């Protein structure tokens, strides 16, 4: 038996069909896993450094839980409205998708505005990242999440333009699905921040 026959016997040399966009989804899942590692390290750093106040203010002195609860509600509502956008996508209603994406963006912008308000007041009161290890880890964790929300809003704006130009083509459907995973991921991370940083911080 020749080498070519042996190769054909043990190896399938024919190219297989791959679903369009399959590599995009796989690549995005890999990206999300890398983001999970980043936030896991930031949570771990806060767990180690979060009680080192350097004789400065602690969570009970700084955090306004009612304000943080409102901020949390803004992000939770944005996840719900994004879910409505995905329902409209399944129904093929591009107008409904765009409407709910705009509502999602408004909730996301409200979340960022409240977060910036909180940061500005902390800094004005002298609670800067350089003040203590607790504040350094706090600003790094919460600020990294805020940057992700900012990137998500930019992505959302670009997607709205693409929907206006091309409608619900297959590529835009994939983009909507990827942004959905990203947005809900940020929601889950924030629930962890709210619980681990704010609630448990004020109970110490």
Minimal CA–CA distance to 67: which of 120, 105, 104, 103? 120
Provide the 8-state DSSP code for 64: -
Say how many domains are in the chain.
Answer: 1
> Which residue has 């997607």 as its token pair?
159
Where do we find the tokens 């190896």? 11
CATH of the domain at 107: 1.20.120.80
For 151, phi then psi, to 5°, come to -60, -35
Q: Is the pTM of this model over 0.85?
A: yes
Task: Say if 16 falls within a structural domain.
Answer: no
pLDDT at 177 over 60: yes
Q: Considering the domain boundaries, does residue 112 fall inside one? A: yes
Count CA within 13 A, CB hemisphere, residue 165.
Answer: 8
**pLDDT above 60 (res 33):** yes
Q: Is the pLDDT at 9 greater than 80, yes or no?
A: no
Is residue 10 in some structural domain?
no
Which has more confidence, 201 or 13?
Answer: 201
* Confidence check: pLDDT of 11 > 80: no
The pLDDT assigned to 14 comes to 56
Instruction: Tell which residue, 201, 101, 113, 190, has the closest CA to residue 145.
Output: 190
Q: How far apart are CA 63 and CA 113, in angstroms?
A: 16
Q: What rounded mean pLDDT belongs to the chain?
A: 91
Across residues 165-186, what is the average pLDDT? 96
Of the listed ranges 59-63, 85-89, 200-204, the least confidently predicted one is 200-204
Give the structural domain span for 157. Answer: 22-203
The answer to whether residue 18 scores a pLDDT higher than 70 is no
Report pLDDT for 3. Answer: 56
- Asked if residue 8 is part of any domain, the answer here is no
């Amino acid at each position: 038996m020749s080498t070519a026959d042996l190769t054909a016997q043990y190896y399938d040399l024919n190219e297989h069909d791959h679903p369009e966009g399959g590599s995009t989804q796989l690549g995005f899942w890999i990206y999300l896993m890398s983001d999970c590692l980043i936030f896991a390290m930031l949570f771990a750093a806060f767990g180690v450094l979060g009680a080192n106040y350097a004789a400065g203010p602690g969570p009970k002195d700084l955090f306004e839980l009612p304000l943080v609860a409102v901020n949390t509600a803004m992000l939770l509502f944005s996840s719900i409205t994004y879910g409505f956008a995905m329902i409209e996508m399944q129904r093929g209603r591009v107008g409904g998708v765009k409407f709910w994406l705009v509502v999602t963006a408004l909730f996301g912008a409200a979340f960022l505005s409240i977060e910036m308000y909180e940061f500005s007041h902390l800094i004005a009161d002298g609670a800067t990242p350089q003040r203590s290890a607790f504040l350094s880890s706090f600003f790094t964790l919460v600020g990294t999440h805020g940057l992700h929300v900012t990137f998500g809003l930019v992505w959302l704006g670009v997607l709205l333009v693409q929907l206006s130009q091309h409608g619900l083509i297959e590529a835009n459907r994939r983009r909507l699905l990827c942004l959905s995973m990203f947005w809900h991921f940020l929601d889950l991370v924030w629930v962890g921040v709210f619980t681990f940083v704010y609630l448990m911080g004020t109970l110490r």
